[in-house]
Amino acid sequence: MHTQIALVTGAASGIGAAVAAELAQQGVVVAAADTNESALAEQVEKITSNGYAARAYSIDVRDPVAVHEAINAIERDLGPIGILVNVAGVLRTAPILELTDDDWQTVFSVNTVGVFNISQAVARGMVARRSGCVVTVGSNSAAVPRMHMAAYCAAKAASTMFTKCLGLELAEYGIRCNIVAPGSTDTPMLRSMWADGYGRQSVLDGAADRYRIGIPLRKLAEPADVAHAVAFLASDQASHITMHELCVDGGAALGA
The pLDDT tens digits along the chain (256 residues) read: 468 999 999 999 999 999 999 999 999 999 999 999 999 999 999 999 999 999 999 999 999 999 999 999 999 999 999 999 999 999 999 999 999 999 999 999 999 999 999 999 999 999 999 999 999 999 999 999 999 999 999 999 999 999 999 999 999 999 999 999 999 888 776 566 656 556 666 667 678 888 888 888 889 889 999 999 999 999 999 999 999 999 999 999 988 7
Domain ranges of the chain: 5-193+222-248
Backbone phi and psi for residue 166, each to the nearest 5 degrees, phi listed first: -60, -45
Q: Tell me how far apart the alpha carbons of residues 22 and 46 are, in angstroms, rounded to a whole number.
A: 12
Q: Tell me how far apart the alpha carbons of residues 12 and 39 are, in angstroms, rounded to a whole number.
A: 5
Picking from 114, 91, 117, the residue whose alpha carbon sits closest to that of residue 104 is 91
Taking the CA atoms of the chain, what radius of gyration do you get in angstroms? 17
Contact 148, 98 (CB under 8 A): no
CA angle 39, 44, 50 (to 5 degrees): 135
Residues annotated catalytic, as ranges: 152
Say which CATH topology domain 5-193+222-248 has. Rossmann fold (3.40.50)
Element (DSSP H or E) covering residue 21: helix 14-25
pTM of the model: 0.94
